[in-house]
């Protein structure tokens, strides 16, 4: 498994604080996969994300993009931020312009693209994200779910190779969450490596190919969702919930049969149940 992004012994403290937000953190993001970064509040997920695009610079250790340590100078960071797209948890932090159209075209203009290309790409992404009808609506008139779509569109329009989403489903209703996950699957099929920070263990279990668990600024677990979440005691001691589907599954006699892998979504779970009752 090759890593597209890595941190090696990265430590970082916020100014004026004693605790290390990241404490010799080692992680590797597998290229082409969907990785979930889990951990309770304050474990360092957002701080890690702010290191990926060089908003924060480690006090010690190094951050590598495609095996090359980041350079913290303007030109290199500008290029890096086209390769790596970061969607903040709070869209208010990301959306600084007046309308979705202005927001989505801003990054393209910054990248120096010609005007017809800018228009074409902006319209295409607004339509993909199903917000073309809102293109010229003032951002402060949009719902939170709509703002999240605009923030995602503004990042996707730059066609990043790695997309990081910080708690993308926080405060979304079920339908908006479902739509977002479907959208992420389409993005993933286009070959983009995805990383999501989340404290929704049900989502991490169902969605991810690979899971990293952070605790106090360190990576304490890394593995497949089944590997990670079957370690009930460790998961609970880290203040995380066991995914409900896995918990139910492990209570069935089925779960102990060799060669039967735990279902990761409701449809698979149902088909196992139907088989065993028929």
Ligand X SMILES: Nc1ncnc2c1ncn2[C@@H]1O[C@H](COP(=O)(O)OP(=O)(O)O)[C@@H](O)[C@H]1O
Q: How far is the CB of 47 from ligand X (least distance, A)?
A: 3
If DSSP codes are grouped into helix, strand and coil, which group holds residue 270?
Answer: helix
Task: Please say which residue, 40 or 272, places its beta carbon nearer to Mg ion.
Answer: 40
Token representation of residue 239: 């203040």
Q: How far is CA 30 from CA 6, 27, 80, 175, 192, in A?
A: 9, 10, 18, 29, 11
Interface residue with ligand X, options 4, 10, 21, 195 (CB under 6 A) = 21
Q: How far is the CB of 55 from ligand X (least distance, A)?
A: 11
Q: How far is the CB of 88 from Mg ion (least distance, A)?
A: 9
Considering the rule CB under 5 A, would residue 7 count as an interface residue with Mg ion?
no
Q: Which residues are 197's β-sheet partners?
A: 37, 166
Q: Are 36 and 24 in contact (CB under 8 A)?
A: no
Task: Please say which residue, 9 or 266, places its beta carbon nearer to ligand X.
Answer: 9
CA 15 to chain centre: 26
Q: Which positions from 42 through 61 interact with Mg ion, judged by CB under 5 A?
A: 45-46
Closest CA to 148 of 123, 173, 124: 173
Residue whose beta carbon is closest to Mg ion: 46
Interface residue with ligand X, options 2, 18, 41, 278 (CB under 6 A) = 41
Q: Which chain residues interact with ligand X by CB under 6 A?
A: 14, 17, 19, 21, 39, 41-47
């Amino acid at each position: 498994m090759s890593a597209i992004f890595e941190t090696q012994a990265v430590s970082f403290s916020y100014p004026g604080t004693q605790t290390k937000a990241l404490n010799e953190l080692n992680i590797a993001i597998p290229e082409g996969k969907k990785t979930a970064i889990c951990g309770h509040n304050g474990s360092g997920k957002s701080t890690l994300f702010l290191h990926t695009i060089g908003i924060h610079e480690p006090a010690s250790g190094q951050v590598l993009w495609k095996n090359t340590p980041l350079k913290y100078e303007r030109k290199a960071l500008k290029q890096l931020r086209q390769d790596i797209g970061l969607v903040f948890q709070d869209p208010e932090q990301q959306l600084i312009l007046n309308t979705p159209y202005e927001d989505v075209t801003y990054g393209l203009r910054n990248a120096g693209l010609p005007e017809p290309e800018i228009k074409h790409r902006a319209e295409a992404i607004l339509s993909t994200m199903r917000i073309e009808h809102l293109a010229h609506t003032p951002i402060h008139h949009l719902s939170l779910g709509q703002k999240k779509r605009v923030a995602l569109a503004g990042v996707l329009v730059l066609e990043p190779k790695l997309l990081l989403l910080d708690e993308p489903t926080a405060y979304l209703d079920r339908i908006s969450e479902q739509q977002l996950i479907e959208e992420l699957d389409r993005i993933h099929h286009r070959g983009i490596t995805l990383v999501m920070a989340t404290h929704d263990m049900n989502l991490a279990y169902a969605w991810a190919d690979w899971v990293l668990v952070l605790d106090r600024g360190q990576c304490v677990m890394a593995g497949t969702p089944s590997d990670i979440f079957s370690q009930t005691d460790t998961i609970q001691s880290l203040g995380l919930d066991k995914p409900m589907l896995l918990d139910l599954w492990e209570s069935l006699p089925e779960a102990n049969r060799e060669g039967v892998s735990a279902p990761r979504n409701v449809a698979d779970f149902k088909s196992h149940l139907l088989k065993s009752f028929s």
